[in-house]
């Protein structure tokens, strides 16, 4: 399917995802119903993170539905790179991110990280921050360690 992969992250708040995108220089394209990918089903990608294996796209589904999403995410100002699709989870709870990771998504992985690890970390930090603030905490600091992990320190 070219190499369309699912990101191992459950998105349950689009506002936090939008903030994470902004932090990384990505553009959240609300209600854009398709995302940029290779655009042609090849069927040779059988890794554990494949959208077919994970039930996002099915070989039984009409291929005209491939590349469809609820929202899309791209690199601001890029006409070359592939995009992420924000798709409804198959269980109906929240969203999943999918993207064509062939050759780094034509530059997309430079920004989101391999398997979207940078975007996943930033979304998680934004999620922790908003939940903490909603529960009466204030954010004391935010640090990124040498491994790229983000630590958010909170206080009452």
pLDDT of the residue at 139: 83
Query: Cα–chain-centroid distance for residue 51?
Result: 13
Q: How far apart, in whole angstroms, are the C-alpha atoms of residue 16 and residue 131? A: 10
CA dist 64 → 54, 81, 149 (Å): 19, 21, 38
* Those residues with Cβ within 8 angstroms of residue 103's Cβ, 6 or more apart along the chain or in another chain: none
In tens digits, the chain (156 residues) has pLDDT values of: 457 777 889 999 999 999 999 999 999 999 999 999 988 766 655 555 555 545 565 555 556 768 889 999 999 999 889 999 999 987 888 999 999 888 899 999 999 999 999 999 999 999 999 999 999 998 888 899 998 889 998 898
pLDDT of the residue at 51: 57
Q: Which residue has the tokens 């530059």?
A: 107
CA nearest to 8, candidates 113, 149, 145: 113
Q: What kind and span of H or E run contains 132?
A: helix 117-134
CA nearest to 35, candidates 7, 60, 9: 7
Give the dihedral sign, CA 142/76/124/16: positive
Domains of the chain: which residue ranges? 4-116
Q: Which residue has the tokens 């320190």?
A: 153
Q: Which residue has the tokens 């039984």?
A: 60
Strands, E assignment, the chain: 4-6, 26-29, 71-75, 84-88, 95-100, 138-144, 150-155
Give the pair of three-digit tokens for residue 89: 């989870």
pLDDT of the residue at 79: 87
pLDDT of the residue at 89: 86
What pTM did the predictor assign?
0.86
pLDDT of the residue at 93: 87
pLDDT of the residue at 117: 95
């Amino acid at each position: 399917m070219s190499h369309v992969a699912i990101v191992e992250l459950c998105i349950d708040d689009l506002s936090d995802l939008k903030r994470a995108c902004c932090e990384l220089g990505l553009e959240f394209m609300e209600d854009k119903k398709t995302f940029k990918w290779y655009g042609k089903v090849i069927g040779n990608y059988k890794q554990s993170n494949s959208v077919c294996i994970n039930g996002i796209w099915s070989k039984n589904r009409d291929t005209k539905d491939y590349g469809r999403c609820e929202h899309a995410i791209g690199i601001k100002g890029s006409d070359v790179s592939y995009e992420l699709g924000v798709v409804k989870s198959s269980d109906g709870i929240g969203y999943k991110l999918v993207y064509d990771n062939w050759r780094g998504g034509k530059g997309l992985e430079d920004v989101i990280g391999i398997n979207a690890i940078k975007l996943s970390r930033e979304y998680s930090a934004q999620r922790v921050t908003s939940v903490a603030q909603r529960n009466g905490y204030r954010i004391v600091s935010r640090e990124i360690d040498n491994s790229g992990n983000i630590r958010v320190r909170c206080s009452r």
